[in-house]
Amino acid sequence: MDVSVLITVKNDVENSRRMLRSLYGVKGEFEVIVVDAYSDDGTFELFVDEGKNLRMTVERKKGNRAMGRNRCIELSTGRKLVFLDSDTEVPSDWIQKLIKHSDKDIVAGKIIQKSDKRWGDLGRVPIYFKNQDVTFPSNNLMYDRSVLDNIGRFDEAFQTAEDIDLNVRAVEAGFSIEYVEELEIFHYPRMTYFSLLKQSYYDGVGRRILKRKHGLKSSLNLSNVKRHPIIEVSRLGMGMLGYTIGEFR
């Protein structure tokens, strides 16, 4: 099997059901590896039952996302490892488009936000390392296995920003991340305004760890400020609070 789709999940049954429906229609050959962090809402059972329609391996493992993703890598057999979140939906030609870029070491695709919230169009707050954007999340992100053999897997000390750390280490080792606009998926964020601020807080904690490990600082996304000044300023404020004094729970 040349392509392995790697999914970590916890308590996301409805989004997972929609994602599975989209995977059923994907053309091409691929395996799916799911590591569930002991969901108690039926998510694990959903993958076990409905995953029979796909070439799928489902396992449970306690721990953070980095631990789950590393277990996915261990269970996979593909040369191309594609990370995907449970709250996404993929088009039928997704794998075909990925394979078109199989000669690249790392490929990051486009994530289209499907949200009716005012802040649904907020973009990432980028970090650049050696003139490359390293903030592509491990969602619609494809790594050649040889890259991970070279740089190692996810750093399990990270509770968040583990994907940024992996990208930084890849670029440091001389690999390039190619962004492919046509490689689209759809993301369905589960965000209240409170959860947006909570996420920003813990993003700040993660970026403090990135600063400590790699000496990297975030850039300001001016388009976010122009579109949603109050929301973005409050988000940046919570991120700064997490960066300054925050701890993981």
Q: What pLDDT is stored for residue 90 in this prediction?
A: 98
Q: What pLDDT is stored for residue 247 in this prediction?
A: 65
Q: What pLDDT is stored for residue 2 in this prediction?
A: 92
Domain residue extents for the chain: 3-192
Q: What pLDDT is stored for residue 208 in this prediction?
A: 85
Closest CA to 234 of 112, 122, 116: 122
Q: What pLDDT is stored for residue 248 in this prediction?
A: 56
Output the pTM of the full model.
0.90
Q: What pLDDT is stored for residue 204 in this prediction?
A: 81
Residue 62 Rama label (left phi>0; alpha psi -120 to 50; beta):
beta
Q: What is the Cα–Cα distance from 94 to 92, expressed in whole angstroms?
A: 6
Q: What is the CATH number of domain 3-192?
A: 3.90.550.10
Residue 186 Rama label (left phi>0; alpha psi -120 to 50; beta):
beta
> Packing angle between helix 13-24 and helix 43-50, nearest 10 degrees?
20
| Residues in Cβ contact with 114 at an 8 Å cutoff, skipping those fewer than 6 apart | 89, 120, 186, 187, 188
Mean pLDDT for all residues in the chain = 89
Q: What pLDDT is stored for residue 190 in this prediction?
A: 65
Q: 108 is written with which tokens?
A: 């990051």
- Summarised one tens digit per residue, pLDDT across range 234-244 is 877 787 787 78
Q: What pLDDT is stored for residue 62 in this prediction?
A: 94
Q: What pLDDT is stored for residue 118 in this prediction?
A: 66
- Chunked mean pLDDT (size 10), the chain, 249 residues: 93 95 95 97 95 91 95 98 97 96 96 77 80 94 98 92 96 97 90 79 83 80 75 78 71
- Summarised one tens digit per residue, pLDDT across range 88-129 is 999 999 999 999 999 999 999 999 988 766 666 666 778 899
